[in-house]
Amino acid sequence: MDYRESLDYLYGLQKFGIKLGLDNILHILGRLHHPDRAYPIVHVAGSNGKGSVCAGLSSILIQAGRRTGLYSSPHLHSFTERIRIDGQAISETEAVALIESVRAVCDGIPVTFFEFTTAMALLHFKHQEVDVAILEVGMGGRLDATNAVQPAVTVITPICLDHSEHLGADLTSISAEKAGIIKPKIPLVVGQQQPAALQVINSRAKELQAPVVCYGRDFTVKTVDNGFDYQGIGLSLTGLKSGLHGVHQHHNLGVALATAELLQRQGLDLPTISLQDGVAAARWPGRLEWWQEERTVLLDGAHNEGGAKVLAAYLESLSVAGIRWVVGAKATKDIANILSPVLPLVDSLYCTVPPVEEAIPAESIAQIAVEAGVQACCFGDLASALTAALADRQQGEIVMVAGSLFLVAAAREYLMTLEGA
């Protein structure tokens, strides 16, 4: 099979849908002779900040010269982005070989897309002899395919209401699913949490005798001029520069630093300079990303209430004449809660749909905006909406694309075509 045929097979597995549970992935890893046991793993769950924490930690490890595997989802432009070695996506040739290797052991197993790609990543990391692998949970934690591994460190970033159709309708239920990644006596790093979530996490950690390193108690960050200070478990760093935009990223990078400290204590050689350089070099496209240096187009993958609040806080820190928001969301999202924190800060909405099978109608988004007193118009696709917003933009204004990572990916691709025109 060539790359396109291999991807067709892989995406064909989506007919099995989302099937939470560990039986399939455990069978597959067994048939592959447990590649996940060949290297230490950092396992990261949470609702917001997972990707940024993974990017920050990966950058720290790379700066230290440690061969680093990163498995994350979804991808922005190419499937190969989901599996990275030292920050670089795997090649199409490597993807084809991995698909063939995993497919060969899947006879009789109704494997899902995410189970299959998880096995691919774990196998590739063994082939590449990584020093550390970072796994980002796909959804939830307890029954996510990534939870088949035995990690060296687990991490839970801030939790909010998200994926309620699969994980539960309240914060306690969702937190219990995320806390499902906690392992007996394996250290756990916990980012800033709402009290209800923290109670669930601490209770589960105590039950499993997992040592907890908690934000606000065991490590903190403080925003200072043009950067942040980190007070860690045993390390104090001042005047750190962040490679990621937004004050909230200081917290996410603090979580990455605390995780790095735990890896140091487990014997991994991570010089202090690599921690400093790592947070400065961290990049995570599509999350508070300015397109080009003139800073007129802002892209952000905020797709739940927590992400929207973070986005709103960042917008409040800007000095701009106005904000034109290109917005769209998947049908499963609570669009009212996404809009609520941001609407008071924008001047007009360009409502559209992300390139997914089921999306919230643009008209439904526009209605909420108009009822809130914000001008809104509707477009059939991202390109039309973004073209209109860019044409309408006045001096000192910015155009923002947010509401769905799929929408942001489409925007990046469209902007690339404009540059190439």
Per-residue pLDDT of the chain (421 residues; tens, 9 = 90+): 899 999 999 999 976 666 678 999 999 999 999 999 999 999 999 988 999 999 999 999 999 999 999 999 989 999 999 999 999 999 999 999 999 999 999 999 999 999 999 999 999 999 999 999 999 999 889 999 999 999 999 999 999 876 555 555 689 999 999 999 999 999 999 999 999 999 999 999 999 999 999 999 999 999 998 899 999 999 999 999 999 998 999 999 999 999 999 999 999 999 999 999 999 999 999 999 999 888 999 999 988 888 899 999 999 999 999 999 999 999 989 999 999 999 999 999 999 999 998 999 999 999 999 999 999 999 999 999 999 999 999 999 999 999 999 999 999 999 999 887 5
Cα-based distances in Å from 127 to 54, 133, 421:
21, 12, 40
In this structure, are residues 177 and 151 in contact, taking their beta carbons and an 8 Å threshold? no
In this structure, are residues 305 and 408 in contact, taking their beta carbons and an 8 Å threshold? no
Rounded to the nearest 5°, which phi and psi values hold at 71? Answer: -115, 120
In order of their start, the domains of the chain are 3-281 (3.40.1190.10), 289-420 (3.90.190.20)
Q: Please list, residue by residue across 327-356, b when 16 or more beta carbons sit within 10 angstroms of its beta carbon and e when fewer do.
A: bbbbeebbbeebbbbbbebbebbbbbbbee
Residue 160 pLDDT: 83
The token duo for 312 is: 């709103």
Residue 226 pLDDT: 83
Q: Please list, residue by residue across 394-411, b when 16 or more beta carbons sit within 10 angstroms of its beta carbon and e when fewer do.
A: eeebbbbbbbbbbbbbbb
The token duo for 294 is: 């003139």
Residue type at 395?
Q
The token duo for 329 is: 């969301």
In this structure, are residues 392 and 346 in contact, taking their beta carbons and an 8 Å threshold? no
Rounded to the nearest 5°, which phi and psi values hold at 363? Answer: -65, -35
d(CA 69, CA 135): 8
Residue 165 pLDDT: 54
In this structure, are residues 354 and 285 in contact, taking their beta carbons and an 8 Å threshold? no
Q: At 324, which helix (H) or strand (E)?
A: strand 322-327
Q: Which residue has the tokens 């007070």?
A: 231
Rounded to the nearest 5°, which phi and psi values hold at 43? Answer: -110, 125
In this structure, are residues 374 and 343 in contact, taking their beta carbons and an 8 Å threshold? yes
Residue 167 pLDDT: 57
In this structure, are residues 324 and 400 in contact, taking their beta carbons and an 8 Å threshold? yes
